[in-house]
Amino acid sequence: MAELHDLTALEQGAAIRAGETSSAELVEHYLRRIHGEPYGAFVTVTADRARTAPTEGDGPLAGVPTAVKDLNLTAGVPTGFGSAAYAGFVPDVDDEVVRRIGAAGMPVLGKTATPEFGSPCYTEPAGRPPAVTPWDTTRMAGGSSGGAAAAVAAGLVPVAQGSDGGGSIRIPASCCGLVGLKPSRGRISAAPTYGDPVGLGTSGTLARTVRDAAALLDVLAGPAVGDPSWAPEPTSSFLSACDAEPGRLRVARFLDPVITDVAVDPECVAAYDGLSRRLEALGHEVVDVERPVSRDAVPVFETCWAVLTAQSVVGLTDDQRAVLRPLTRWLASRADEVSGVAFALAIGELRRLAAGALTRLAAYDLVLTPTLAAPPLPVGAIRDDTDPAADFEAQKQFTPWTSLWNLTGSPAVSLPTHRTPEGLPVGTMLAARPGEEAVLLAAAAQLEASYADEGDAWRDRVPPGW
């Protein structure tokens, strides 16, 4: 047998069922790998909890270890939300995502790093090492699910949960050479906090393969009692969608950045053009289209983003507010200037902008863009504590496409389609119509198979130190 961490998550589950390994053996194997890890992936390791976790479950990932992002409530385990303001906070409940991971029999090895309240597109939490890509540890893992992505890419866990309000799964997936899947709005329950009244954020999955990402989505998906809305129930599992023939799809593509005017790195353009040619070679129709939303949408989105950030600091003491990061304080101060009526109007305008974009793209099954405007940047290249406005602008320039699909509520995935001459990973992004994860997964799996047929299987790409 290969080293245990060489196996995909689904292969690990199959090995458990065949008696070739056990969940306990996998837990100990990964705990040894996590010990002293240099990637800034974990903020808390829950070894005892993982060793005693129930591992029974009906699904194919029963017994397979995983991790939970430090934005998610975990009963009895410190949850810091990436902020020094919440140092020592220990919730007394698990959120719905954590409950479902437990019900699937997946031991949780710990909490993965996130920036303060999951806001920035880099993961450099106060007082902790930055999360870095295992492909070059001087460069960022991306954010805000940077710890989760670093953990999967370094072989510290086989698959991990993340969350995405403006690209926070797909950004680190691109930086770390992974499959990063943001599902449709309402696909995964946000119980019990329901903290996002705008509807931008959702949990999702990070994995080395499309099938692993789909299998974890099967674990997480579905409404909980009390959810205000939910995506349509699928007719079959998301894992089975990976085995479906996608047929001939119409794929729209555009390179024009959505939220700011920025020069796109040639390697990201090469990834975009390369995947376009591959889609055509697989029999799909690829059509150039105009950017489907005006940049007039950006101030509206920023208003909502600032208010969502401000929600995170409500109720903090003066001492807690004193240790907030400058970016958080700056965004919260912007929110102080937004009235309740202005916020409601902004949400309504976002709905109209999303409807317009979806209408313009309705004739297409998929939409192709780069994931990011550059390969993974050096640690600290974006963060600017002396000028939070410049920090925020640099984030927009690095991530000018990802938030479009949070606006529309569409499922979107970053695929590890390209590497720079230096070996840095570069992702390319596909999105589908809301509720159509099955189409997205079928196409992504077909693309993944085409790379494997050429001897370049994504699962076999491993970074130094693997």
Q: What is the largest CA-CA distance in the chain?
A: 61
Question: For 47-63, b where at least 16 C-beta lie within 10 A, e where not — what string?
Answer: bebbeebebebebbbbb
Q: If DSSP codes are grouped into helix, strand and coil, which group holds residue 303?
A: helix
Where does 195-284 have alpha helices with state H? 210-220, 238-241, 266-281
Q: Indicate which residue of 69, 111, 182, 396 is catalytic.
A: 69
Nearest CA-CA partner of 180 in 136, 154, 214: 214
144 catalytic per annotation: yes
* Nearest CA among 67, 66, 62 for reference residue 21: 62
For residue 87, how far is the Cα from the chain centroid? 24
Q: Catalytic residue, from 119, 163, 168, 174: name it.
A: 168
Bridge partners, residue 287, by sequence: 252
In the residue annotation, 145 being an active-site residue is answered as no
Catalytic option among 23, 144, 184, 410: 144
Active site residue 396: no
Angle (nearest 5°) at CA 136 between 135 and 141 = 80
3 state DSSP class of 49: helix
In whole angstroms, what is the distance from residue 448 CA to residue 179 CA?
10
Q: Strand runs (DSSP E) across 346-424, as ranges?
A: 366-370, 412-419
> Catalytic residue numbers?
69, 144, 168
